[in-house]
Amino acid sequence: MATTNLSYSSLGSVQFSSGNGFPDHNAPETSLYINLDTGVWYTNVGDNIWTPLKIGIYGEKFIFNQTTTVGVNSQNTWFRTANRYNWQEGACKGTYKNNNKLQIIDSGLYQITVQGTLQSSATINSRIDFRVIKNDDTNIPLVSSSIRLVTTTRGLVGFNGENVKRLEKDDRLELIVRNTTQSVDFILRKAIICVLKIID
């Protein structure tokens, strides 16, 4: 049965929707839909191909209330946060923390989300890049974005990003950052990386 009684809301580029019947409507890739008749969640894996969502595997790691700087001492150089901060393991099933990285146990297609807050340790006007990478490979980001950190001392600027990527068993995820404008340091005040397996 095709979708009826469709209702939806959007969060950025992702659409959250509900209705009766199997989803057959247009929506951006990675959008979610729940069939109110069965309680089954679906995700759009691209080209409006809807697949039942598997929510059995998920994981997160986080840091908060940090006062230590990232350690930036050169412009346009990636700095590893796994080496600098003691990341905590959050709610996990099918993932675990390994050397401050989030390790995947089961291969599949995952939605990856990163959020956090940067804090200046001095007056700063810089472009800050961040990436979620796997297996120490800084050249192939899973999630990538940048923000402008324009502030006086102790200003806070939030960042976020998300993507859907295939992850393999034993992949290890971490957050890396760089200052592309200056060799000025900053604090990664808080951050979280979340993964949710959506299909094998």
34 and 69 in a single domain? The answer is: no
Residue 37, pLDDT score: 81
**Which of these three, 36, 52, 68, is where a domain ends?**
52
44 and 76 in a single domain? The answer is: no
Residue 140, pLDDT score: 92
Residue 154, pLDDT score: 59
Domain assignment of residue 82, given as a range: 58-199
47 and 66 in a single domain? The answer is: no
Please, which residues have CB within 8 angstroms of residue 139's CB and are 6 or more apart in sequence?
A: none
State pLDDT tens for residues 94-147.
788 889 999 998 898 898 989 888 888 677 888 899 999 999 999 999 999 888
pLDDT, greater one: 175 or 91: 175
Give the Cα separation of 92 and 113 in Å (integer): 14
101 and 187 in a single domain? The answer is: yes
The CATH number of residue 78's host domain is 2.60.120.40
194 and 102 in a single domain? The answer is: yes
35 and 77 in a single domain? The answer is: no
Give the Cα separation of 55 and 69 in Å (integer): 35
112 and 147 in a single domain? The answer is: yes
In the predicted structure, residue 51 carries a pLDDT above the cut 70? yes
CB 116 within 8 A of CB 103: no
73 and 28 in a single domain? The answer is: no
Give the Cα separation of 113 and 51 in Å (integer): 20
State pLDDT tens for residues 163-200.
889 999 999 999 999 999 999 898 898 898 989 888 77
193 and 160 in a single domain? The answer is: yes
CB 165 within 8 A of CB 112: yes
Residue 55, pLDDT score: 62
Residue 29, pLDDT score: 85
Total number of domains in the chain: 2
83 and 173 in a single domain? The answer is: yes
42 and 99 in a single domain? The answer is: no
186 and 115 in a single domain? The answer is: yes
